[in-house]
Amino acid sequence: MKPIALLALLLGAALTSFSQRTIDVSRSDINVSGLLLTVGGEPFVNTKFVYLVSGTPYLKEDWAPATLYVHNGKAYPHIAVKLDLIDNAVHYQNSKGEEFLSVTLIDAILFEADSITLLHASAIPETKALPTGWYQPLLQDSVSLYKFYEKKVTESKPYNSATTEQRIATFDRYHIIQKGTPITIRKIKDVPGALPDKKAELEQYLKSNDDKSRPLDERMTALLRYYNSLIK
């Protein structure tokens, strides 16, 4: 059996969670089975963000090849996926290009083109205290570091317009996990204060060794790797 067919068998039957969504039932190609909710051809996000003028609820706007790791430990590679970070929903395509919405628990998604892995909060071993969502592991050690892509929706009505426009902005948030406790970090300069036992050493590292020309992910990872070296 093809991986995409196997995946379909494992995508859950709990459809009651969609009761508050607005779906165009006039479309003849919408059907509900015991396993899947199908939204034929039309992007599912349009049922919620009808007047979206900027931004996207997805991690990646276009379909991207990915490997899905479901809760029973099985992996299903080379699946076209979109990850909705507002509803924390996984959309995927079957071999015919039809769109489906996963209603089973997926532990992790590996985006194959750029080797980025995201873990569901429930699958992060260090803690159960993180809010529901998807987190990119940057460092897993005595003190771990995860990146969270926060999406915020704003609405505004232009002057003399009856239409409310929607915009989605994306913000990078970082979470340090120390002894099972997550600490939210918005700026790298906040890290020393969040880890006061080595505050002086971390502040000195930022003055002497932090390479501001590098991406923030790399700088945060290097700083937390240094911290872990100090406590071992």
pLDDT digits (tens, 9 = 90+) for 146-179: 999 999 999 888 888 888 899 999 999 999 999 9
Specify the amino acid at residue 166.
Q
Residue 91 pairs in a beta bridge with 82, 101
pLDDT at 30: 27
DSSP string of 73-98? S-EEEEEEEEEETTTTEEEEE-TT--
Tokens describing residue 2: 């093809």
Mean pLDDT calculated for residue range 95-102 = 82
Q: Is the pLDDT of residue 2 over 90?
A: no
Residue 142 has a pLDDT of: 95
Report the distance separating Cα 198 and Cα 41, nearest Å: 54
Q: What is the pLDDT of residues 196-209, one digit of tens each?
A: 999 999 999 999 99
Q: Tell if the pTM clears 0.75, that is, is over it.
A: yes
Q: Is the dihedral of CA 98, 103, 105, 108 positive or negative?
A: positive
Residue 47 has a pLDDT of: 56
CA–CA distance, 198 with 114 (Å, rounded to integer): 34
Write the CA distances from 214 to 146, 173, 184, 219, integer angstroms.
18, 17, 21, 6
DSSP state of 163: P
pLDDT at position 210:
97
